[in-house]
Amino acid sequence: IERAAKREVAGRMVNVIAVEDLVLMKMISEREKDLDDARKLIRRFGSSLDVGYLEPRLVEITEALAIPDRLALFRKELKNKT
């Protein structure tokens, strides 16, 4: 919630998740749809992503969950962003 941004939606102010946090959640999901969403988010927002925030957290979580392929996927997509 600390990193959420306030946005107006349908006339009401709501908290919207930061894209880095959404990428993080999608990257650690087991669903292929979430991984595809993460790829798209990285490609779309790659140049504006706060990699200094995101990558260390992704390293920690992928190590703890024993899913190093997700970190490799993140780095590959970041490198190939459009």
**Tens place of pLDDT for every residue, the chain, 82 residues?**
678 889 999 999 999 999 999 999 999 999 999 999 999 999 999 899 999 999 999 999 999 999 999 999 999 999 987 5
- For the question of whether the overall pTM of this predicted structure is more than 0.95, the answer is no
3 state DSSP class of 14: strand
DSSP state of 47: G
Alpha helices by DSSP H, the chain = 19-27, 32-45, 51-64, 68-79
Quick: pLDDT tens for 52-69. Answer: 999 999 999 999 999 999
Q: Who contacts 35 (Cβ-Cβ below 8 Å, separation ≥6)?
A: 26, 27, 29, 70, 73
Cβ-based neighbours of 42, under 8 Å, separated by 6 or more = 23, 49, 74, 77, 78, 81
